[in-house]
């Protein structure tokens, strides 16, 4: 007769995700990204942008600062996007402006993600009072309205890329701290971490060497989520005149175009093109991020229509 | 012999995703008689929960029934639509899920969740609703004042029992349970299981019980289905399966069981892991892990062969079955 | 109760943080902006000037700590300094408030309704036509910076088609009154800015609402509701939508900060004389007292909305009650 053994069976349910699986995260996600259509479109957009940023000289027809045509000219075969008020080629400006725009976006997103991670994981790992204090600080920064704070901070700094990076980082670091903290909490009591603690490793080592590598997909997702909005925020700030119009970025192009009333009385493409470029770069990051959402949350994945229509109502 | 309550024939369920189609349940057939307690066991990923939801017509996209029939009370549930199916739900069969914390709406009181069930299936007055709700709670040993409580205000064991009470609101003939005791500690498990068995004997409903816990199955079920990789590996009366397991997989499960009585013996597991159902192995799906594998197992898919009162999906018994015919 | 006390606590702390930010920044940032700004102020009474000096640390011989407490005291009594023209900051803000309140208020409500309905509908019919088209479209529109939407609309409707005015809140020379022609004039001027905000904000709402809804629908209790044979509509409202919206109410309120930021840019683009435009002119004029006052005001607005959302959650979500 079978016995009353307690449930020590050969087929015990495994822990929801094994330690090995947690460490295999990066590989799994890379594979998933390659299969997702949205991710591929977004990735292509971003790769093109990177290429343009790195090799502007190869594509741009003219020197962006030089006067090469009549002022405020409409698009023509010589100037595909027309010219500025000073007769500069808009397309060349757009191409050369990619570099700084992308640079600022990436740098801010990386630094903000990094700070977010340190704060989030430290709060999760150390817990207790440290956790509470860090969480309150994070919450405060999350509520403070971003653009007003950006404007306020920019007023005190010399306009330029460095100031831009500083103020954007200050207002953005809190954005992902919550998610990263949650992830840190869920990983905190894993066996491989307990083993590290028992070995006597210091908290900083554990955080950087053991915990962080398990979060690579979440970190990548955080980076992307931030980048989507940093492009827009940077451009908005410069559009409002808080940037340095001497530096060539899409935002400063917008400012110059607006100052010259390009939409109404000049070459409207001078204003529309950089705006479109900002939107496309944002969309690129957003598409890849959208795919990450789907990968991380299986419920969001696309649904094929089967024999029954979309959703059974019975 | 009386007609079976539930007759599942060649049921197949697949997950249709962008990447691949995965057959989680592959042509499964079985019957359930009135008042019978049928246990379905298997490793995680073998398709037992999917089978349960497939039978109950509760699959969510991308899961879909892609073949077979489920005859229940004279109708094929797979073919039923809209209101016909809705009428059968809960009245003729109900479902108890693994975690009451997840299966009960956290924003509605227990009483409110009982009420909307009763209101969906007939017109009872508020007084009658309250009376019936209190009645089922008492059946499972919960004080009816808890009708006003919210799920998070109850203990784990109470929540599971509240779910079972809810399942009995319309006195269905079949109650399907998906590992309802997994989320509980051992003592609460025991208490809940004996309560379920007591109710079953009192009210006479059949139970379809999915679990990975062999001890529960051994003690309470009449018959057992062992599932592996989306198929039935072995089906037999409980005593038969535990005394004379036929399929090498079942034998592996049994030998992994420490016994309180009897001689001490080595605990063996089953080496390897279940196959990826997107790309199942050729021939018998168990052959990569089978200690009694034969060359023919790699190329021929076994059918379900009758052996005595049991059925086994194993080529070891193919000859026997042929001879018996 | 404990939930509410925690949220009120956060409200007070954030408010204090915003006040402190205003105090700390002039002292920490490089440059003599503060001195220059205060030097440019004309026509102001000595008390107000003194309050500003305390706030910005100019000409002050007090210790930082005593300046800080005096500054906090001033804030509590409603003294937020004067603008570069000598007008009290709060007076200036309140005069421009109605225009922004109207624009942002209406568009936010509209966007919330559209976003919620569209999000629920598209999530409920997964795999349907709506779900295939709507989420990606609205997702893209929500990531487009609001100024670009504004630029497009201006170009299309104001410049090319000349249907709607280029900017301002009412036509030059018109006298404000409650007459129908004036109201129509105001609406015409508010249409494009409002549309820009609605497009971007609704996109944001739809995306989060749809995701919340999909996650909620995947929950076991919705499966149980289906198993119980409840009518489809009942499940959608009572089990799915309510559970998708309510826990995220506070999250929605926190997105208000982003919307307000967008409104600043839109007001600049359309020369719409509300608080956003005021903020823009303040920044070009380096009018620090006004900028800090506005920053505080915006923060307070977001905080109040978040607190309202918290209150609603405390009342409507049973999980906030003690177990």
Question: What does the pLDDT look like over C61-106, one tens digit per residue?
Answer: 777 788 888 888 888 887 777 777 778 888 888 988 988 998 998 8
Q: How far apart are CA B85 and CA B68, in angstroms?
A: 17
A310 domain-assigned: no
User: Residue C90 burial (CB < 10 Å; 0-12/13-18/19+)?
Assistant: middle
Q: How far apart are CA A137 and CA A174, in angstroms?
A: 9
Report which of A299, A289, A255, A300 is spatially closest to residue A29, judged by C-alpha positions. A289
Please tell me the predicted confidence (pLDDT) of residue A17.
47
Structure tokens at B21: 């189609």
Average pLDDT over residues A185-204: 78
B98 domain-assigned: no
Residue B144 CB partners (closer than 8 Å, separation 6+)? B133, B134, B137, B138
Q: Which residue has the higher pLDDT, A309 or C244?
A: C244
CB-CB contact of C215 with A297 (8 Å) = yes
> Does residue A293 surpass a pLDDT of 80?
no
Q: How far apart are CA A85 and CA B10, in angstroms?
A: 75
Please tell me the predicted confidence (pLDDT) of residue C255.
83
Residue B248 CB partners (closer than 8 Å, separation 6+)? B286, B290, B291, B292, B314, B316
Report which of A180, A207, A178 is spatially closest to residue A193, judged by C-alpha positions. A207
- For chain A, the domain total comes to 1
CB-CB contact of A167 with A180 (8 Å) = no
> Does residue A4 surpass a pLDDT of 50?
no
Q: Which residue has the higher pLDDT, B29 or A261?
A: B29
Minimal Cα–Cα distance from B87 to chain C, Å? 7
Report which of A42, A84, A44, A45 is spatially closest to residue A63, judged by C-alpha positions. A84
Beta bridge partners of C75: none
Q: How far apart are CA C86 and CA C40, in angstroms?
A: 10
Please tell me the predicted confidence (pLDDT) of residue A200.
79
Measured between CB atoms, does B103 come within 8 Å of chain C?
yes
Q: How far apart are CA A165 and CA B294, in angstroms?
A: 68
CB-CB contact of A290 with A37 (8 Å) = no
Domain that holds residue A167: 2-302
pLDDT-based confidence at A184, cuts 50/70/90?
A: confident
> Which of the residues in chain B have pLDDT under 70?
1-2, 18, 257-262, 265-268, 321, 323-325
- Cβ of C13 within 8 Å of Cβ of A136? The answer is yes
A143 domain-assigned: yes
A309 domain-assigned: no
Please tell me the predicted confidence (pLDDT) of residue B113.
93
Closest residue in C to A258 (Cα–Cα): C269
Q: How far apart are CA A75 and CA A273, in angstroms?
A: 11
H/E run at residue C295: helix C288-316
Residue A68 main-chain phi, psi, to 5 deg: -125, 5
Please tell me the predicted confidence (pLDDT) of residue A311.
38
Q: How far apart are CA A159 and CA A155, in angstroms?
A: 8
Please tell me the predicted confidence (pLDDT) of residue C89.
85
Please tell me the predicted confidence (pLDDT) of residue B175.
94
Facing residue for B89 by CB, picked from C229, C243, C317: C229
Report which of C168, C187, C144 is spatially closest to residue C274, judged by C-alpha positions. C168
Average model confidence (pLDDT) across chain A: 80
> Does residue A1 surpass a pLDDT of 50?
no
Measured between CB atoms, does B58 come within 8 Å of chain C?
yes
Beta bridge partners of B30: B8
Furthest-apart CA atoms within chain B: distance in Å: 68
Please tell me the predicted confidence (pLDDT) of residue A13.
31
Residue C191 CA, chain-centre distance (Å), reads 18
> Does residue C164 surpass a pLDDT of 80?
no
Q: How far apart are CA B235 and CA B169, in angstroms?
A: 31
pLDDT-based confidence at A304, cuts 50/70/90?
A: low
Chain segment C243-268, per-residue pLDDT in tens:
888 877 887 888 888 889 999 999 99
Q: How far apart are CA B86 and CA B77, in angstroms?
A: 11
Residue A49 main-chain phi, psi, to 5 deg: -60, -45
Measured between CB atoms, does B104 come within 8 Å of chain C?
yes
Q: How far apart are CA A52 and CA A102, in angstroms?
A: 10
Q: Could you identify the residue written with the tokens 């922004």?
A: C100
Residue C43 main-chain phi, psi, to 5 deg: 50, 50
Strand, coil or helix: A197: helix
Average pLDDT over residues A250-278: 88
Measured between CB atoms, does B120 come within 8 Å of chain C?
yes
B63 domain-assigned: yes
pLDDT-based confidence at A297, cuts 50/70/90?
A: low
Please tell me the predicted confidence (pLDDT) of residue A308.
39
Facing residue for C224 by CB, picked from B61, B88, B97: B97
- For chain B, the domain total comes to 1
Report which of A306, A6, C110, A274 is spatially closest to residue B14, judged by C-alpha positions. A306
Q: How far apart are CA B33 and CA B21, in angstroms?
A: 33
CB-CB contact of C230 with B117 (8 Å) = yes
Please tell me the predicted confidence (pLDDT) of residue C287.
84
Q: CATH code at A209?
A: 1.10.3720.10
Average pLDDT over residues C182-191: 82
Average model confidence (pLDDT) across chain C: 83
Please tell me the predicted confidence (pLDDT) of residue A263.
80
Taking CB atoms and an 8 Å cutoff, what residues of chain C touch A147? 260-262, 264-265
Average pLDDT over residues C292-304: 91
Taking CB atoms and an 8 Å cutoff, what residues of chain B touch A12? 212
Residues of chain C with CATH 1.10.3720.10: 96-322
B113 domain-assigned: no
Centre a 10 Å sphere on the Cβ of residue C162 and count the other Cβ atoms it contains. Answer: 9
Please tell me the predicted confidence (pLDDT) of residue C122.
81
C-alpha dihedral sign at A93, A240, C201, A111: positive
- CATH superfamily of the domain spanning C96-322: MetI-like (1.10.3720.10)
Chain segment B74-115, per-residue pLDDT in tens:
888 888 887 888 888 998 999 999 888 889 999 899 999 999
What percent of chain C clears pLDDT 90, i.e. is strictly above it? 12
pLDDT-based confidence at C206, cuts 50/70/90?
A: confident
pLDDT-based confidence at C286, cuts 50/70/90?
A: confident
A163 domain-assigned: yes
Report which of B230, B166, B215, B197 is spatially closest to residue B11, judged by C-alpha positions. B230
Q: How far apart are CA C126 and CA C305, in angstroms?
A: 32
Half-sphere exposure of A198 (CA within 13 A, CB side): 7
H/E run at residue A21: helix A19-23
C-alpha dihedral sign at B218, B220, B221, B222: positive
Measured between CB atoms, does A8 come within 8 Å of chain B?
yes
Taking CB atoms and an 8 Å cutoff, what residues of chain B touch A294? none
Q: Could you identify the residue written with the tokens 């997989």?
A: B249
Average pLDDT over residues A43-54: 92
Rounded-to-10 torsion of CA A234, A237, A239, A240: 180
Closest residue in B to C245 (Cα–Cα): B107
> Does residue C306 surpass a pLDDT of 60?
yes
Distances in Å between the Cα of B87 and the Cα atoms of B136, B204, C229 are 21, 21, 7
> Does residue A276 surpass a pLDDT of 70?
yes
CB-CB contact of C54 with C107 (8 Å) = no
> Does residue A86 surpass a pLDDT of 90?
no
Minimal Cα–Cα distance from C54 to chain B, Å? 51
Domain that holds residue B23: 6-92+172-324
Q: How far apart are CA A173 and CA A175, in angstroms?
A: 6
pLDDT-based confidence at A9, cuts 50/70/90?
A: very low
Chain segment C12-41, per-residue pLDDT in tens:
999 898 888 888 887 777 666 666 667 666
pTM of the model: 0.80
Q: How far apart are CA B294 and CA B298, in angstroms?
A: 8
Q: How far apart are CA C276 and CA C290, in angstroms?
A: 12
Exposure b/e, A160-179, CB count within 10 A at least 16 = b: ebebbbbbbbbbbbbbbbbb
B160 domain-assigned: no
Q: How far apart are CA C150 and CA C146, in angstroms?
A: 6
Rounded-to-10 torsion of CA C146, A219, A180, A162: -60
Measured between CB atoms, does B90 come within 8 Å of chain C?
yes
Among A91-95, C202-206, C218-222, the least confident range: C202-206
List of chains touching C (3+ CB pairs within 8 A): A, B
Helix axes A268-296, A25-35, angle to 10 degrees: 130
Please tell me the predicted confidence (pLDDT) of residue A25.
57
Taking CB atoms and an 8 Å cutoff, what residues of chain C touch B84? none
- Cβ of A282 within 8 Å of Cβ of C18? The answer is no
- Cβ of A7 within 8 Å of Cβ of B42? The answer is no
Q: Which residue has the higher pLDDT, A297 or C203?
A: C203
What percent of chain A clears pLDDT 90, i.e. is strictly above it? 32
Please tell me the predicted confidence (pLDDT) of residue C265.
92
Among A160-169, A276-285, C88-97, C126-135, the least confident range: C126-135
Please tell me the predicted confidence (pLDDT) of residue A19.
53
Report which of B286, B247, B318, B241 is spatially closest to residue B46, judged by C-alpha positions. B286
């Amino acid at each position: 007769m079978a016995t009353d053994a307690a449930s020590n069976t050969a087929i015990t349910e495994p822990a929801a995700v094994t330690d090995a699986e947690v460490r295999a995260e990066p590989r799994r996600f890379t594979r998933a990204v390659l299969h997702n259509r949205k991710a591929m479109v977004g990735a292509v957009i971003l790769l093109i942008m990177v290429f343009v940023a790195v090799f502007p000289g190869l594509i741009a027809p003219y020197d962006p600062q030089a006067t090469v045509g009549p002022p405020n000219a409409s698009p023509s075969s010589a100037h595909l996007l027309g010219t500025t008020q000073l007769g500069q080629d808009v397309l060349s400006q757009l191409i050369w402006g990619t570099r700084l725009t992308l640079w600022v976006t990436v740098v801010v997103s990386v630094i903000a993600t990094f700070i977010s991670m340190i704060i989030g994981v430290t709060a999760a790992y150390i817990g207790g009072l440290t956790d509470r204090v860090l969480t309150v600080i994070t919450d405060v920064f999350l509520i403070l309205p971003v653009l007003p704070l950006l404007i306020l901070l920019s007023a005190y700094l010399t306009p330029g890329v460095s100031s831009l990076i500083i103020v954007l980082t200050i207002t953005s670091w809190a954005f992902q701290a919550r998610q990263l903290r949650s992830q840190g909490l869920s990983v905190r009591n894993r066996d491989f971490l307990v083993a590290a603690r028992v070995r006597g490793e210091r908290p900083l080592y554990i955080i950087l060497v053991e915990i962080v590598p398990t979060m690579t997909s979440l970190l990548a997702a955080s980076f992307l989520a931030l980048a989507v909005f940093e492009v827009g925020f940077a451009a908005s700030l410069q559009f409002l005149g808080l940037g340095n119009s001497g530096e060539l970025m899409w935002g400063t192009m917008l400012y110059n175009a607006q100052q010259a009333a390009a939409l109404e009385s000049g070459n409207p493409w001078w204003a529309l093109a950089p705006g479109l470029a900002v939107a496309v770069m944002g969309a690129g990051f957003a598409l890849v991020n959208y795919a990450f959402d789907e990968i991380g949350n299986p419920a969001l994945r696309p649904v094929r229509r089967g024999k029954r229509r979309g959703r059974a109502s019975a | 012999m009386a007609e079976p309550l539930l007759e599942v024939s060649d049921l197949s369920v697949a997950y249709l995703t962008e990447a691949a189609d995965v057959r989680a349940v592959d042509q499964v057939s079985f019957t359930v008689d009135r008042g019978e307690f049928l246990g379905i066991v298997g490793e995680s990923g073998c398709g037992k929960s999917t089978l349960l939801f497939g039978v109950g017509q509760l699959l969510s996209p991308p899961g879909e029934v892609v073949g077979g029939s489920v005859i229940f009370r004279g109708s094929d549930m797979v073919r039923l639509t809209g209101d016909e199916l809705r009428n059968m739900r809960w009245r003729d069969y109900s479902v108890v899920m693994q975690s009451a914390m997840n299966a009960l709406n956290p924003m509605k009181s227990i009483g409110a969740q009982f009420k909307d069930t009763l209101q969906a299936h007939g017109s009872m007055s508020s007084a009658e609703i309250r009376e019936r709700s209190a009645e089922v709670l008492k059946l499972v040993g919960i004080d009816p004042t808890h009708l006003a409580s919210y799920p998070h205000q109850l203990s784990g064991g109470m929540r599971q029992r509240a779910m079972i009470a809810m399942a009995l609101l319309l006195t269905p003939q079949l109650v399907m349970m998906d590992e309802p005791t997994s989320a509980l500690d051992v003592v609460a498990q025991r208490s809940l299981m004996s309560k379920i068995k007591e109710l079953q004997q009192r009210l006479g409903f059949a139970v379809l019980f999915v679990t990975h816990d062999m001890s529960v199955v051994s003690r309470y079920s009449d018959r057992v289905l062992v599932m592996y990789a989306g198929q039935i590996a072995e089906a037999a009366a409980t005593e038969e399966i535990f005394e004379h397991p036929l399929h090498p997989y079942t034998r592996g499960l049994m030998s992994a069981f420490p016994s309180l009585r009897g001689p001490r013996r080595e605990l063996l597991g089953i080496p390897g892991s279940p196959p990826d159902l997107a790309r199942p192995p050729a021939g018998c799906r168990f052959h990569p892990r089978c200690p009694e594998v034969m060359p023919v197992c790699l190329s021929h898919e076994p059918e379900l062969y009758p052996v005595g009162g049991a059925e086994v999906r194993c080529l070891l018994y193919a000859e026997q079955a042929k001879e018996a015919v | 109760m404990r939930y509410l006390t925690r949220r009120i606590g956060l409200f007070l702390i954030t408010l204090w943080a915003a006040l402190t930010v205003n105090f700390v920044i002039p002292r920490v940032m490089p440059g003599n902006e503060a001195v220059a700004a205060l030097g440019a102020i004309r026509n102001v009474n000595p008390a107000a000037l003194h309050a500003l000096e305390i706030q910005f640390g100019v000409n002050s011989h007090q210790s930082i700590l005593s300046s800080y407490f005096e500054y906090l005291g001033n804030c509590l009594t409603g003294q937020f300094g004067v603008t570069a023209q000598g007008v009290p900051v709060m007076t200036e803000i309140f005069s421009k408030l109605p225009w922004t309140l109207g624009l942002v208020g209406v568009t936010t409500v509209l966007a919330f309704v559209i976003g919620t309905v569209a999000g629920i509908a598209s999530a409920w019919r997964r795999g349907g036509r709506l779900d295939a088209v709507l989420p990606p479209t609205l997702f893209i529109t929500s990531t487009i910076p609001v100024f670009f939407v504004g630029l497009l609309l201006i170009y299309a409707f104001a410049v090319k088609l000349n249907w709607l005015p280029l900017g301002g809140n009412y036509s030059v020379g018109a006298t404000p009154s409650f007459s129908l022609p004036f109201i129509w004039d105001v609406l015409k001027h508010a249409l494009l800015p409002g549309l820009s905000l609605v497009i971007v904000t609704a996109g944001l709402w739809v995306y989060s609402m749809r995701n919340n809804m999909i996650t909620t629908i995947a929950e076991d209790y919705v499966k149980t509701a289906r198993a119980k044979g409840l009518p489809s509509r009942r499940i959608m409202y009572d089990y799915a939508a309510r559970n998708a919206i309510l826990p995220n109410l506070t999250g929605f309120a926190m997105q208000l900060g982003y919307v307000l930021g967008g409104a600043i840019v839109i007001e600049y683009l359309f020369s719409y004389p509300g608080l956003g435009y005021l903020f823009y002119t303040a920044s070009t004029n380096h009018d620090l007292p006004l900028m800090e006052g506005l920053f505080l005001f915006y923060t307070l607005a977001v905080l109040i909305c978040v607190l309202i959302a918290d209150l609603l959650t405390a009342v409507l979500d049973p999980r906030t009650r003690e177990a």
